[in-house]
Amino acid sequence: MAGRTTSPDAETLALKALTFLAYSPDDLARFLNLSGIAPADLRARAGDRDVLAGTLDFLLSHEQLLTRFCESEMIDAKAVHLARAGLSTAATPLN
């Protein structure tokens, strides 16, 4: 369906977002603090839909960070919103 992000596409974009955060220690620390997930748990669960959804939620709640991510990936912020919708079944807390 045109305009919808498939789950594999959504997961790929969310993994890119997680990688983006990993290269920014301050942003990653803020994500870990707000999500309550420990670094070891993040590494172990990086591919989990809950973690991926939480990563996109974090980006979507920080406009400057979202803008930096979108610029680095050369995508529109709408793609992040669509990816988050594609992961909508993963709307549980991370911890």
Domain assignment present for residue 1? The answer is no
Domain assignment present for residue 2? The answer is no
Eight-class DSSP state of 23: T
Our count of domains for the chain comes to 1
Domain assignment present for residue 55? The answer is yes
Distance of alpha carbon 4 from alpha carbon 75, whole angstroms: 15
Domain assignment present for residue 95? The answer is no
Domain assignment present for residue 32? The answer is yes
For residue 2, pLDDT beyond 80: no
pLDDT level of residue 65 (50, 70, 90 thresholds) = very high
CA distances from 78 to 5, 15, 42, 45, 53 (A): 10, 17, 26, 26, 15
pTM of the model: 0.85
Domain assignment present for residue 92? The answer is no
- The torsion angle over the Cα atoms of residues 1, 89, 50 and 71, rounded to 10 degrees, is 30
Q: Which domain holds residue 42?
A: 7-86
